[in-house]
Chain A
Amino acid sequence: MVNIGVLALQGAVREHVTSIEACGANAVLVKRAEDLNGIDGLILPGGESTTMRRLIDLYGMMEPLRVFANEGHPMFGTCAGLILLAKSLVNYDQSHLGVMDVTVERNSFGRQVDSFEANLTIHGVAEDFPAVFIRAPHITEVGFNTEVLCEHNGRIVMAQQGQFLGCSFHPELTDDHRITAYFVNLVENHMKQKVKT
C-alpha cells in the first residue's frame, strides 16, 4: 500500500484523506518538513494559497518540498494546491513551489457568487466528472511537456506534466474518487519504477 501525504496546514484536508483511503492507499498528514519522510506522493489541497504559503515559509518547508518534487515524487494540487505548484502566476512576480510547468491565474472565474459546478470530461481519467469550482484559478499556459487533460469553456482546468497533476476544481468535495484513484495509480507506478532502478 502506498503512503500519500496531504499538506495539512489549512484547507480541505479531511476530504482528501477520505478520498485517498477510499482508493485503498494510506493517508498521512503533512504539517512539518519531517512528515515528508516516508511518503510516496503528496496532495496539496484546496484552501487559501496565501495562508498555506505563509505557513510553508514559517516552518521551513519550502526547500524540503522542492527537494521532494525534484526526487521525482508525484504531486497533485487542487485549486490552491495548483497555485502552489505552478511555475508562474499571472500578476505576480514570484511563484510558490514553482515546480510544474504551467502559468496559473488566481480567482480567474470571479468571486464566490460566480463559483459553480459542471460535469466535465477529463481525458484518460473520467467521463462526466462532477467538478466543483470555488473562486477557482485556471491555467493560462502550459509548457511543452505538459498535457492538457480538461478544458471548460475554453479555459484549461486540469493538466499533467509527468509526475505533476493539477486541477482548478475540487474533486475532494465529491464522492467521486476517480481522479484520486488516477493519482494513486501514478504514485504506485512511480514506486514500481523506483524499485526497478
Chain B
Amino acid sequence: MNQHLTGTDRVKRGMAEMQKGGVIMDVINAEQARIAEAAGAVAVMALERVPSDIRAAGGVARMADPLITEEVMNAVTIPVMAKARIGHISEARMLEAMGVDYIDESEVLTPADEEYHLIKSQFTVPFVCGNKDLGEAARRIGEGASMLRTKGEPGTGNIVEAVRHLRKLNAQVRKVIHMNDDELMTEAKILGAPYHVLLEIKRLGRLPVVNFAAGGVATPADAALMMELGADGVFVGSGIFKSDNPAKFARAIVEATTHYQDYKLLVEISKDLGMPMKGIEISRLEAKDRMQDRVL
C-alpha cells in the first residue's frame, strides 16, 4: 500500500475549494435536503431548526439530534455539514464519528465555551467558522479552520451585517498584502491575529482558505451582492425554507451565485418568486440577541 495521508491541510482546505461558486443550504430533514440537492446546492447543512426559528424559540440551541443528521446524510449524495456549539469538543467529536463532511463551529448555536474555540487542527474532519474581521478570521485559521464564512446576523434576512463583515475583512486583507515585513508583527498585535497566518496571507496575496457569505442572505440579489463583494460562495440559512416557494427560491439563488454579474438574468430569476422570509431590522435587536457578538 502506498503512503496514504488523511486529514491534511490540503485535503481539508481543498474540500472547501471544491464548493466555490456554490450555495450551501440549511435543511432540517430529508425532504428539504432533496429539494436543495435538486436545486443545485453544493452541500447542505443539517440542523434541527433554521436560525430564524432558533431566534424565535429562545433557550439553549444545541447540536441537532443525530437521527436528523443521519437522515439527511442518507438522503443526498452531496456533502453534508452540521453545526456544533463553539468550544463543544464532544459534540464536534460526535459529528466527526458520524462521518459528516464538514463541521460548522457556529455562533448560531448557544456557545458551550465563552472563552475558547476548538483546536480544529486536531480533527480529521474539516471545520468552517464565522468571522467579522481579519483578527477573528486569522485566529480561526490559526486554530485550524479550513473554511471561513462571514457571521452576518443569522436568521434576520437582513444582509447588512454580512456586507459589513466581508468589506472589513477584505480591506484588512488588502492592507496586509501590501504591508512591509517589518510592519506585520505590529499589525498582528493590533488585530489579535497569529503572525504566521498574516505571513501566509501576504505570501499568497489572499486568505489561505475560502470565505463564504453567511448570515442574512434572503434573495438571489443578496447572494449576487455577496459574490460581487468577493465572497467565494454563499450559505443560505433561513432564506430558502422560510420563503413562500423554497424549490424556486433555491434554484434562483444557485443561478444568482453562478451568474452574479449577469444582471438581465438576475432580473428574470427574481420575478414572481413570492415572499422572501420576513426580515428583522438589526437596530431593533437587543445586544443579547446579536449572535455575531458571541465568542470572538
Given contacts A54-B40, A58-B255, A118-B4, contact A113 B125 (CB under 8 A): yes
On whether A120 and B19 interact (CB within 8 A), knowing A31-B259, A48-B78, A113-B125, the answer reads no
Taking the closest CB of chain A, its distance from the CB of B111, in whole angstroms, is: 25
Closest Cβ neighbor of B39 among chain A residues = A54
- Chain B 3-22: CB-based contact to A (< 8 A → 1; otherwise 0): 11111101100110111111
In this complex, the member of A58, A113, A170 whose beta carbon has the largest number of chain B beta carbons within 10 angstroms is A113
Assembly CA distance A80 to B116 (angstroms): 37
A13 and B20 contact, CB distance less than 8 A: yes
Contacts from A to B (Cβ < 8 Å): 8-15, 31, 46-48, 50-51, 54-55, 58, 79-80, 106-107, 110-120, 132-135, 152-153, 170, 173-174
- Which residues from chain B sit less than 8 Å from chain A, CB to CB? 1-8, 10-11, 14-15, 17-22, 37-43, 77-79, 96, 99-102, 124-126, 254-255, 258-259
A172 to chain B, nearest CB (A): 9
Contacts A/B (CB < 8 Å), 19 sampled: A9-B258, A10-B22, A11-B18, A12-B20, A14-B20, A48-B19, A50-B77, A50-B78, A51-B40, A55-B40, A79-B18, A112-B79, A116-B8, A118-B3, A119-B2, A134-B11, A134-B18, A153-B2, A170-B14
Q: Please give 7 more A-B residue pairs, beta carbons under 8 A apart, in addition to A10-B258, A113-B125.
A: A9-B258, A11-B19, A15-B17, A51-B22, A55-B255, A132-B14, A170-B14
- CB <8 Å contact, B20 and A117: no
Q: Are A10 and B124 in contact (CB under 8 A)?
A: no
- From B4, B77, B96, B258, give the contact of A106 (CB < 8 A): B77
**Are B2 and A48 in contact, CB atoms less than 8 angstroms apart?**
no
Q: How far, in whole Å, are A132 and B9 apart by their CA atoms in the complex? A: 11
A contact residues around B5 at 8 Å (CB):
116-118
